[in-house]
Structure 1
Amino acid sequence: MIWNQLTSIDQIKEIDAESAHRKVIILKHSTRCSISTSVLNRLESNWKESDQNKLKPYYLDLLIHRDISNKLATHYNVEHESPQVLVIEKGKCIYTESHHGIRYEDLPEVGQKTTL
């Protein structure tokens, strides 16, 4: 799994633009949280190379970039949680899940769905 690091609020505009062509997944990760580490490990160990064609993965370190997390919450109208996965399509959050609800099995399914 090749993560794109989310390190600037300005990247949110880029994510919106990219999501017009391919869905984007954002993992909001806390390096101090064992649940978050477990989620990260599960995603990385189950991720298939072909998933990269459906979902472009972004990684946000919450401890370093809480300001970006706050901006994501307001920009996509979602409640902040950690760990949290957002799937963005056409500039909108079409899927969000947190904690133990984050399951790799759900992500490819989300990547194949189309929305209005």
Structure 2
Amino acid sequence: MPQFKQLRSVEELEQFLQEPGKRLLFKHSTTCPISANAYGEFQAFLEGQQLPAAVIHVIEDRPVSNEVADRFAIKHESPQIFLLEEGGVKWHTSHWKITKQAIEEAVQA
């Protein structure tokens, strides 16, 4: 099973954002079937990967989700994925565009 952190506080988000190198951040709605599909794609990508990754449950941890939108000035969507590097967003997408292949292409770019 892929390894990733669940970020439940703004402090945990801050710590995750300060780590060096590329990392993935996935915003997940536990009540949305589209998000469930995208979450499966996210997990499929992480199989066998060493890339640090984290998930935010947007309903349960709304302040953390809102902080991501505010910090990067990117409209909140769910599901939504971000490739982060050097403290900024290198790539992001949402909904049905979240696929294992799309994530692979973004990470390799």
TM-score (ref. length: structure 2): 0.89
Match of 2:77 in 1: 81
Match of 1:7 in 2: 8
Match of 1:112 in 2: 108
Distance 1:12 1:92 in 2: 13
Q: Percent identity?
A: 28
Which stretches in structure 1 are left out of the alignment for 5+ residues? none
SS state at 2:100 partner: coil
- Give the number of equivalent residue pairs: 108
Opposite residue 3 of structure 1, the aligned amino acid is F
User: Contact 1:15–1:91 at 8 Å: present in 2 too?
Assistant: no
Across the aligned residues of Structure 1 and Structure 2, the Cα RMSD in angstroms comes to 1.4
TM-score (ref. length: structure 1): 0.84
Which stretches in structure 2 are left out of the alignment for 5+ residues? none
Distance 1:42 1:16 in 2: 22
1:84-103 matches, within 5 Å, as: 84-103=80-99
1:50-61 matches, within 5 Å, as: 51-52=49-50, 55-61=51-57
